[in-house]
Structure 1
Amino acid sequence: MKVTQEKLPASQIGLEIEVTPETTKQTYEQVVKNLSRTVNIPGFRKGKVPRAILLQRLGSARIKATALEEIIQDGINQAIKQEDIPAIGQPQLRSSFDDLVSGYEPGQPLTFSAAVDVQPEIKVNKYTGLEIKAEEIKVDPERVDKTLDDERQQMATLIPVQGRPAQLGDVAVVDFKGVIPKAEGEEGEDEPISGGEATDFQVELQEDRFIPGFVTGMIGMNPEETREISAQFPDPYANPDLAGKAARFTVTLKEIKEKELPELNDDFAKEVSEYETLAELRSSLEQQYQKEAEDRTKSNKQEAFLKELLNHIEADLPETIIDKEIDAMLMQTAMRLQQQGLDVRKLFTQDVIPRLRDNSREEAIERVKRSLSLREIGKLESIKVSEAEIEARVQELKAEYADQDVDEDRLRSMVENDLLTDKIFDWLFANSTVELVAEGSLAPKEEPEVTENTENTEGEENPEATEPQ
């Protein structure tokens, strides 16, 4: 079989395949033979249909098309094997199938064109001597104390309070009913808020526990007192029909309780953790938060480096790889939504999926380029992971997840990929300059709004202009 190769865009190899006369005839005859055994034609038993009757009933074009499908599929497979082409994905027929059917004559040579995707060639023009800035994440020195205080709040005992009004930090038991007041001069009744009514509702008197104004309006109330409180729904809000609207609540305070917090000592540490002393619990939290900060800083460095690498990469990606990455991204999204309790089948409809794929394409291309560039750098610098390193990490993870059923082959593959990625990044960091800067300093700055009238006289304020955020 004669095969001519041609390099095409998007990492494709074009193939012009010439099939021998013997193959075109043999395949045609075998198709006729197979059809005569399987086709039901009234008046004839299977396998006993005369050739002329079979050709008359089925038609020459149908038989030729069936034979051509086999010739093309077998021809492409043989060409890929013969030319030792590292093909990926499904081959594509470039010739018109209808034209091939029209021109196909069993016993005559047949030439057709096809294309196959291959792994792209990645060219990383520069990957050393780069100058990168990344945000350094530092541990909040108050985070441990805040965590311990949150735990104490969770374990607090509620004690009824007598003889004083409600104050911040209390827990109040109330009845309330909310409405959206009618506009001034508007006729009709106030609009009841759907779900805005409750009896014996327990609310902690902290501003972030309810919509703005509700808790503030309750401060100073005494038991059995009823008060009308004005509040404001934030914008945005979970219920878009209420977003940004003013509300009025009629609130009756029925009971006040205050929190009695457990003492912060070793007994508390034993109650909320596996540690015997408060000092051990504190030390564990400090180590945990330090590790989280270091991991986030490392992730920031990697992200900054990958972003810079994209400026130095040349890659003509085949559709097969892009489509595969889009599939993976949509699968991850579906699994995440499913874990949140959402019905994925209602979200991922046949009408929505094409739009989701289009929206994911740009990110998929970027992700593929990042991954391939790292692997290319690893090859160029002969960066490898030893079997001993992989085995040690696998055993470590198996011990950590001893109570779970783990696919060891998949685990080993993931471990090898993670270890190799870390080694490549370590090499890149060692051969470039990474400047760590304060958290938030690299966030894009919002541009101030510009209005039509931006000209001011000196010293005058422009009420239309918005301050930069």
Structure 2
Amino acid sequence: MKVTQEKLPASKIGLEIEIPADMSKNAYEQVIQKLARSANIPGFRKGKVPRQILLQQLGTTRIKATALEELIQDGLQQALKQEAIEALGNYELRSDFEELVSQFKPGEPITFLAAVDVQPQVQLSDYNNLSITAEEVPYDSSAIEKFLEERRVEQATLIPVAGRPAQMGDVAVVDYTSRFVSEQEDEAQEEISGGQAEDAQIELLEGRFLREFIDGIVGMNPGDSKEVEVKFPEDYRQDLAGRTAMFTITLKDLKEKELPAVDDDFAQEVSEFETLAELQADLEKKFREKADQEMSANKEQALVKELLKRVEIDLPETLIQREVETMLRQTIIQMGQMGMDVKKVFTPDMVKQMGVRSRPEAIERIKQTLALEEIAQRESLKTEPQEVTDRVNELLQQFPDQEIDLERLRTIVEGDLLKEKAIKWLEEHATIELVPQGSLAPEETEQQAETNTPEAIEAAQAEDSEVEATATESVLEAEVSEVE
């Protein structure tokens, strides 16, 4: 089989494939034989239809089209094997199919054009001594006191309050009803669905409930009733966001928290340790480790950000779509595990828009992975079988009741470990300046900002509508069934 290759943009290889005469004849004859065995033609039994009658009834164009479809599929597979091309995903037919059908003559050669996505080439420069700035994350000893105070609040005993009005920090037991405040004076005031409660325990702290509601209770005495006007925040649930309501509140009871002493008994109550000193030592160890992990994450993010400036990769669409679908699956599964009805929330249109918005991040993730893999290859970084096994066992312990493809898990783990080694190598060979925490403001690149505009989303949807519609269907079908 004669095959001519051509490099195309977006990591595609164009193929000109010439199907030999004998192959075209055999394909055509095999299609006729199959149709003769299965065709339902009045007056003839299956398998007994004369060839000429079959051609008249089905038409040569239909038979040639069927034969050509098989020739293209078989020819492409043979061409990829012959040329040792590792293709990603499906092929793209670059010739006009109807024109091919009209040109096709069984027993004569036929040539068609196709293209396949292949693994991209990574162009990487000057990664040997990166210069970065990262935020330092110092250990904060006050974190221990804050943790213990939170546990004290959790272990607090509620005791009745008498002789004073409600104040911040109390726990109020209230009945309340609510209704929307009408814009027109003569308009009936509509009750809010779900906006009523009896014997509700409300902790009078900022951020625990609606601010005006909390402020309205402060100063009330048990037995008092009061009307409090509340404006719902713009990011509240859809039917209430930005609207104004009137709450009628009756304070029935008032309690305050009595906090336990921080001693050995308290340590035994909130932990597995016998003494307060042991608990404090363990907390210090964990908070120091947490600070170290956060600082390592800051260094890693800075290293990867700098690395991406030095990498050029012409990504194929197949890889991008795979990464987008992976991100959508992860989101849908997480939302399903949180109890959301994914069938109602993740409509095809919503998933399609999510796919468009995920595209820039997907591209960045692919570039990061490929760049780190390239460094691992250039620097001869390897993973040991035992460290892969140890990490796999750790993950299996976290998900003891789930069926997991061990071979696929080992492949994923090996890839992750290799990327970790590449990042560690970069850090060891980089110049790193540590600056105070909070001194580096988060940045949104121009590309990200432009990608998130409605105009950009609409343009991307128009460009990729066919591909993303298919991706949307596959993601929804696979993940909705998995969540259920």
Q: Give, in angstroms, the shift of residue 165 of structure 1.
A: 2.8
Instruction: Give the letter for the 2:160 counterpart.
Output: P
Deviates more, 1:270-279 or 1:39-48: 270-279
Alignment of 1:223 onto 2:227: no
| 1:278 aligned residue | 276
| 1:374 aligned residue | 372
Distance 1:219 1:72, change over 3 A: closer
Alignment of 1:16 onto 2:45: no
Q: Give, in angstroms, the shift of residue 189 of structure 1.
A: 6.0
Instruction: Give the letter for the 2:145 counterpart.
Output: D
Q: Deviations over 1:241-260 (max 9, x none)?
A: 54455555443322222222
| 1:292 aligned residue | 290
Q: Give, in angstroms, the shift of residue 311 of structure 1.
A: 1.4
Distance 1:262 1:207, change over 3 A: same
| 2:448 aligned residue | none
Q: Give, in angstroms, the shift of residue 155 of structure 1.
A: 2.0
Distance 1:398 1:92, change over 3 A: closer
Unaligned residue ranges in structure 2 (runs of 5+): 445-484
Alignment of 1:198 onto 2:197: yes
Q: Give, in angstroms, the shift of residue 175 of structure 1.
A: 2.6
CA distance in 2, matches of 1:196, 1:243: 14
1 or 2, which has the higher helix percentage?
A: 2
Instruction: Give the letter for the 1:306 counterpart.
Output: V
Instruction: Give the letter for the 2:108 counterpart.
Output: Q
Contact 1:22 1:107 (C-alpha < 8 Å) held by counterparts: yes
2:422 to 394, 416, 424: 424
| 1:102 aligned residue | 102
Deviates more, 1:345-354 or 1:78-87: 345-354
Q: Deviations over 1:162-202 (max 9, x none)?
A: 2333232222222334455566x944566655444333222
Q: Give, in angstroms, the shift of residue 219 of structure 1.
A: 3.0
Q: Give, in angstroms, the shift of residue 136 of structure 1.
A: 2.5
Q: Give, in angstroms, the shift of residue 309 of structure 1.
A: 1.7
2:441 to 440, 443, 452: 443
1:262 to 240, 260, 263: 260
Aligned 1:303-314 pairs, distance under 5 A: 303-314=301-312
1:412 to 410, 414, 424: 410
Instruction: Give the letter for the 2:320 counterpart.
Output: I
> SS in structure 2 opposite 1:201?
strand
Distance 1:437 1:323, change over 3 A: same
Distance 1:237 1:93, change over 3 A: closer
| 2:36 aligned residue | 36
Q: Give, in angstroms, the shift of residue 366 of structure 1.
A: 1.3
Distance 1:106 1:255, change over 3 A: same
> SS in structure 2 opposite 1:176?
strand
> SS in structure 2 opposite 1:224?
coil
Q: Give, in angstroms, the shift of residue 157 of structure 1.
A: 1.8
Q: Give, in angstroms, the shift of residue 49 of structure 1.
A: 0.7
Instruction: Give the letter for the 1:171 counterpart.
Output: V
Distance 1:361 1:207, change over 3 A: closer
Instruction: Give the letter for the 2:208 counterpart.
Output: R
Contact 1:7 1:13 (C-alpha < 8 Å) held by counterparts: yes
> SS in structure 2 opposite 1:92?
strand
Instruction: Give the letter for the 1:213 counterpart.
Output: E
Distance 1:70 1:215, change over 3 A: closer
| 2:113 aligned residue | 113
| 2:383 aligned residue | 385
Instruction: Give the letter for the 1:50 counterpart.
Output: P
> SS in structure 1 opposite 2:211?
coil
Q: Give, in angstroms, the shift of residue 111 of structure 1.
A: 0.9
CA distance in 1, matches of 2:36, 2:190: 78
Larger Rg: 1
Once the two structures are aligned, what percentage of the paired residues are identical? 53
CA distance in 2, matches of 1:408, 1:315: 31
CA distance in 2, matches of 1:258, 1:269: 23
Aligned 1:298-377 pairs, distance under 5 A: 298-377=296-375
Deviates more, 1:126-135 or 1:376-385: 126-135
CA distance in 2, matches of 1:240, 1:204: 25
Contact 2:369 2:419 (C-alpha < 8 Å) held by counterparts: no
CA distance in 2, matches of 1:211, 1:9: 55
Distance 1:188 1:8, change over 3 A: closer
CA distance in 1, matches of 2:239, 2:38: 65
Distance 1:396 1:201, change over 3 A: closer
Instruction: Give the letter for the 1:435 counterpart.
Output: E
Unaligned residue ranges in structure 1 (runs of 5+): 447-469
| 1:462 aligned residue | none
Contact 1:11 1:318 (C-alpha < 8 Å) held by counterparts: yes
Distance 1:23 1:217, change over 3 A: closer
CA distance in 2, matches of 1:36, 1:107: 20
Deviates more, 1:151-160 or 1:101-110: 151-160
> SS in structure 2 opposite 1:351?
helix
| 1:466 aligned residue | none
CA distance in 1, matches of 2:12, 2:147: 56
Q: Give, in angstroms, the shift of residue 299 of structure 1.
A: 1.8
CA distance in 2, matches of 1:106, 1:395: 58
CA distance in 2, matches of 1:193, 1:332: 35
CA distance in 2, matches of 1:214, 1:96: 68
Q: Give, in angstroms, the shift of residue 81 of structure 1.
A: 0.8
Instruction: Give the letter for the 1:121 counterpart.
Output: Q
CA distance in 2, matches of 1:387, 1:259: 55
CA distance in 1, matches of 2:353, 2:399: 39
Q: Give, in angstroms, the shift of residue 405 of structure 1.
A: 5.9
Alignment of 1:71 onto 2:71: yes
What RMSD over aligned residues (CA atoms) do the two structures have, in Å? 2.5
> SS in structure 1 opposite 2:282?
helix
Distance 1:225 1:47, change over 3 A: closer
Distance 1:278 1:400, change over 3 A: farther
Q: Deviations over 1:224-278 (max 9, x none)?
A: 233444x543533413554455555443322222222233222222222222222
Distance 1:133 1:379, change over 3 A: same
Distance 1:271 1:96, change over 3 A: same
CA distance in 2, matches of 1:405, 1:97: 44
CA distance in 1, matches of 2:238, 2:128: 50
Q: Give, in angstroms, the shift of residue 27 of structure 1.
A: 1.3
TM-score, normalization by structure 1: 0.87
